[in-house]
Structure 1
Amino acid sequence: KGAVISGERAYDVVYDEEKGIALPPADESNTTPAFARFCSGDLAWKEAGFDRPIFFPAEESGGAATFDGKGGLAFALFDREIHSLPKMGRFPWENTLVRPAKGDTVVMLMEDGPTTPDNQLYIYVGPKSNARNASVLSRNGLDTGKFYAFRSTTPGQTSELTFTSGSITGEWVEIPNVETLTDVQLEAASDAINAFGFIRIEDGAWSKTDKNKFYFVTTGNGPGNRLGRGYTVDFDPNNILGPTKISFIYNGDTVNAAGGDIAFGADNIDVSKEFLMINEDGHSDSRPAYAANAREGSIWRFDLKNLLTGTPKRIAELNPPGTAIAPGQTAPPAVPVPGTWETSGIIDASDFFGKDSWLTVVQAHSPTLAPAPNTVEDGQLLLMIPSKAKIGNDHDHDRD
């Protein structure tokens, strides 16, 4: 069994680390700048060598309509405080993913920036301070680190326009003084060092069995990458900043051209020890692909033991208004464009609800009934468990 117990604002103080000031949470009674919308977030603790649980939200926006007006920032939330993290750069964020390993803090920084021609894969590496008077940010390596962008060293492979199958090798190139750069300046600095160009990086996840392996997806909807792709990242086990290999899991355009079906318009992802799960979020390129396969936006499962040779399974499908057959009718009414609604935000919930359990979200974009007052649109939080399992009082699966 499981239920949402409560919900409230998670912080009482806002710390602008660049200016060194503490502010009350933004509301109509003060001048504290508001956050731009947050996208995905990551909660890290002992597995990352942190001294307390720290949650990492980040702004999925750019330009003036952000906390400091210079571009999207990441934040660290702990002990009812939320702190800006300018050392991690400014850009439209999708997620902030902490490596589950002791030693220096390593964070994969996922840029989802549809306002620029391409997006980069960034990494932050920060040493943890042992000084007696060190701040929480310093003790956990979050305010003194360095910022790097991935650059291909494979000849001729500089972006998703040319990299369409197989693997590439690359290096991590430091961009210094990133805390002083706006999002526009960071994009220019990335282009100046020939950072690899992706088409809308979406979510990622660190392996649960290999601290040197990372998975991520791009959603596509741009030149050279229309339907999205899945990748693995293999780091040098002796040096996180050493030579790094990025390999294809799948190329949505290639699969579609061959008449196949797979996770088109990939959005959020997560992994367990056994599976990679990928949400779909429809866009102008992926929606026709859903329609051609006579289906809606879905959730896909990839077996990690046979990641390249196995057949991914589509295990859940959206059911937006117009797809259900009303009582007394023999056919559904007019169906909206497939992929209008969005599967989103999937999390491995095995520790809470048993093996192969997942929490996921539906974002019910228009058309829907008008949402409740003070809300933007409808949605649902869902628990997925194996079809032959039920949840017992001990929160474990009871097999039939």
Structure 2
Amino acid sequence: MQRFMIVALVAAAGIAAPALAQGTITGPNAGATPYMLPASNSSGVQFVSIATTGANIFYNNLDTGLATYRNVGIPDGLGIYRDADDIANNTFSVVQNHELGATSGIVRAHGSTGAFVSQWKVRRNDFGVVGGRDLIQGVNTFNNATNSFVAGTTQFGRFCSADLAAQSAYKWMDPTTGTVYGTDSRILLNGEESGAEGRAFANIIDGPEARQSYQLPDLARFSWENAVSNPLSQRKTIVAGTDDSTPGQVYFYVGDKQATGNTIERAGLMNGKTYGMRVPGIALEGAAPINSTFTMVDKSATQRGTGAAFQQSSRDLGVTEFARPEDSAWNPSNPNQLIWVNTGGTVNGVPVPTRIYSADFTDIANPELGGNITMLGQGNDFSTFGGGVTSFTPGTTTANSFDNIAMSRFNQVLIQEDVGNNARLGRLWMYDLVTDSMLEIGISDSTRFLSGGSQYLGTQDEETSGIVDAWDTIGPGWWLINMQAHYGIAGELVEGGQLMAVFIPQTVPTPGAVAVLGLGGLMAARRRRSK
């Protein structure tokens, strides 16, 4: 098959040729080489470091103009976009969760310690960081007793994955009346992966309520991995929620967009209902995969209550429990399909492997009708992938602990492993729905994350995370990811980490991959090899 390698215009981008030969590029003020590397140097995959967590690494603060801003550790969920300023200045914008505990770090712009969202401007031509700042300046928590929001501050606990959905997710025009429902504001959804009482939040990036964060009471409380909005423009707003617990459930919030109200009311993120996925006859995922129909169980009676009450209600109503549901992604090519992964684990004494699942709704315009659930593959058994598994790392017989995912517009799922404190280096995989095959894309840098390595960071506990499609912002085949390096750093930084971009030519249909990277300082050169 055809592969592609990015060749630097060294004079324009200032990138050393030896680094490119190894499939890596170091950004001009990244502070370090990339923490993840191509699984195969002949694959055409390129990793680019953008911003690194470090004691002596500072960036321009976009609010103050001073070189005081830092890429704090435990980076997680990401969003990427381009606004009018970006278009004028050939940059792109990034929002990034930092998965800090509620009492960790320093007091942030929203007035408390703990988790927060950073916001960055990055040059498209060379991945140089223009600057960063805290996104959230104001917090609005919800008071159930008064049925109203309370402005103030709060300690956020462990923002994990995130979703910056296409603006179509929150806006719709009635074709009959011409009435516009929803908002043009960009909204980053995230939640607290902090146990049963974790809250979901909508963080408004632009528009009249820019930099405000709202608790979303109708999405309920649980240990949030992610809240992911269906991008289809329709009156209904549909958000998939995954409960990262052992065991945990898969939920769907369904609301209606409004023509009036504040930003989140207009977006349809208030006053809807949350449903739980129930597979008939299966209360708990086990050693055998699930392939069946599913129904939607109305959970609205307890959605504004405590997380403990919501969890008990789910069990009472027969909502199916899975072995740690992790990230999910709606298929850009099929709005009826949600892909999600389970990390796996031991549930009631039964080992359950990491798996990829598909939920196919009968009609996304009426999600309450349910649909079908299909297991697409499991990490401990490569024979479950009908098209085979290609790994470039000798001795690889399993894929472990699926965590963050994103989907291309061509039915491909990018899957990141979270192997934890383990000598096995974490991988980035690509699952192809059409060919039912897995391809190893990237692997954590052994010189940093294996004891004795030349750049060893003092821990083998690393986690690549946050992957998002950057096709429309950087160019075709580009993705944004980050890496968590779980070694302690005193004070503001808390732990290590790095923001990266990665070019994956396999996500660009051939032959159109050539010369369509859309990156000012780089060009594509074509190269062939046999698979």
> Which bin holds the TM-score, normalised by the shorter protein?
0.7 to 0.9
2:340 matched to 1:216?
Answer: yes
SS in 1 for 2:473: helix
Paired residue secondary structure (1:299)? strand
Shift of 1:88: 0.4
Shift of 1:247: 0.5
| 2:303–2:310 CA contact under 8 A, matched in 1 | no
Q: Which has the higher contact order (CA 8 A, sep 6+)?
A: 2
Unaligned runs of 5+ in 1: 25-31, 64-70, 327-331
Determine the C-alpha separation between the residues in 1 that align with 2:168 and 2:297. 27
1:180 is displaced (CA, Å) by 3.3
Q: Across the two proteins, how many residue pairs are aligned to each other?
A: 357
1:23 to partner: Cα distance? 2.9
Confirm whether residue 272 of structure 1 aligns to residue 408 of structure 2.
Answer: yes
Match of 1:28 in 2: none
In the alignment, structure 1 residue 356 sits paired with structure 2 residue 480: no
Q: CA deviation at 1:225?
A: 4.4
The alpha carbon displacement at 1:177 in A equals 2.9
Q: Which amino acid aligns with 1:371?
A: I
1:62 shift after superposition: 2.6
Residue in structure 1 matched with residue 361 of structure 2 by the alignment: 235
Q: Which residue of 2 aligns with 1:371?
A: 489
Q: CA deviation at 1:257?
A: 11
Task: Give a deviation string over 1:249-287, Cα, whole Å, max 9, x none.
Answer: 112244499997343100100011232110000148xx5
Deviation digits for residues 124-148 of structure 1 (CA, Å, limit 9, x no counterpart): 0001123x4x232221111110011
Is 1:35 the counterpart of 2:146 in the alignment? Answer: no
User: Which residue of the partner structure matches residue 75 of structure 1?
Assistant: 201
Match of 2:327 among 195, 200, 203: 203
Q: Which runs of 5+ in 2 are unaligned?
A: 1-124, 172-181, 205-209, 386-394, 506-512, 527-531
Greater strand fraction, Structure 1 or Structure 2:
2
For residues 323 and 249 of structure 1, the distance between their equivalents in structure 2, rounded to whole angstroms, comes to 35
2:241 is aligned, of 109, 116, 133, to: 109
Shift of 1:15: 1.1
1:383 to 489, 501, 508: 501
Q: 2:462 aligns to what?
A: 341
| TM-score computed with the length of structure 1 as normaliser | 0.81
CA distance in 1, matches of 2:245, 2:521: 39
Q: Which secondary structure does the structure 2 equivalent of 1:358 belong to?
A: strand
- 1:183-202 Cα offsets, whole Å, 9 max, x none, are 11111000001111101110
> How far apart are residue 314 of structure 1 and its match?
1.1
Aligned to 2:187: 54
Partner of residue 379, structure 2: 252
Relative to 1, partners in 2 of residues 1:108 and 1:21: Cα closer, same or farther, differing over 3 Å?
closer
Q: Percent identity?
A: 30
**Contact 1:263–1:279 (CA under 8 A) maintained in structure 2:** no
Query: Structure 1 residues 72 and 192, CA, compared in 2 at 3 Å: closer, same or farther?
Result: same
The residue correspondences of 1:101-180 to structure 2 (distance < 5 A) are: 101=232, 102-114=234-246, 118-130=247-259, 132=260, 134-153=261-280, 155=281, 157-161=282-286, 163-164=288-289, 167-180=291-304
Residue type matched to 2:431 in 1?
A: F
Q: Distance in 1 between matches of 2:525 and 2:490?
A: 38
Note if contact 1:353-1:396 (Cα within 8 Å) is conserved in structure 2: no
Task: Tell me how far apart the structure 1 counterparts of residues 432 and 136 of structure 2 sit (CA, whole Å).
Answer: 38
Deviations 1:2-25 (A, max 9, x none): 23332222122211232534434x
Moved more, 33-42 or 211-220: 33-42
Structure 1 partner of 2:426 = 297
Q: Structure 1 residues 353 and 58, CA, compared in 2 at 3 Å: closer, same or farther?
A: same
SS of the residue corresponding to residue 178 of structure 1 reads coil
Match of 1:88 in 2: 219
- Given that 1:203 and 1:217 are in contact with CA atoms closer than 8 Å, whether structure 2 keeps it comes out as yes
Distance, in Å, in 1 between the alignment partners of 2:433 and 2:381 is 21
> 2:61 matched to which residue of 1?
none
CA RMSD of aligned residues (A): 2.9
The 1:147–1:392 alpha-carbon spacing in structure 2 relative to 1, beyond 3 Å, is: closer
Q: Do 1:147 and 1:178's aligned partners in 2 also have CA atoms closer than 8 Å?
A: no
Q: What are the superposed Cα offsets for residues 90-122 of structure 1, whole Å, 9 maximum, x if unpaired?
A: 0110101000112200000111124xxx11110
TM-score using structure 2 length: 0.62
* Match in the other structure for 2:397: 261
User: CA-to-partner distance for each residue in 1:40-88, whole Å, 9 max, x for gaps?
Assistant: 111134321241211112111136xxxxxxx111111111211111110
Moved more, 261-270 or 248-257: 248-257
Of 229-238 and 93-102, more deviation after overlay is shown by 229-238
Would the alpha carbon gap of residues 257 and 204 (structure 1) be closer, same or farther in structure 2, given more than 3 Å must change?
closer
Answer yes or no: is 1:399 the counterpart of 2:525: yes
Summarize the Cα distance change of 1:246–1:5 in structure 2 as closer, same or farther, 3 Å threshold: farther
Identify the residue that residue 306 of structure 1 maps to in structure 2: 435
Q: Distance in 2 between matches of 1:87 and 1:395?
A: 46
For 1:282, the equivalent position in structure 2 comes to 419
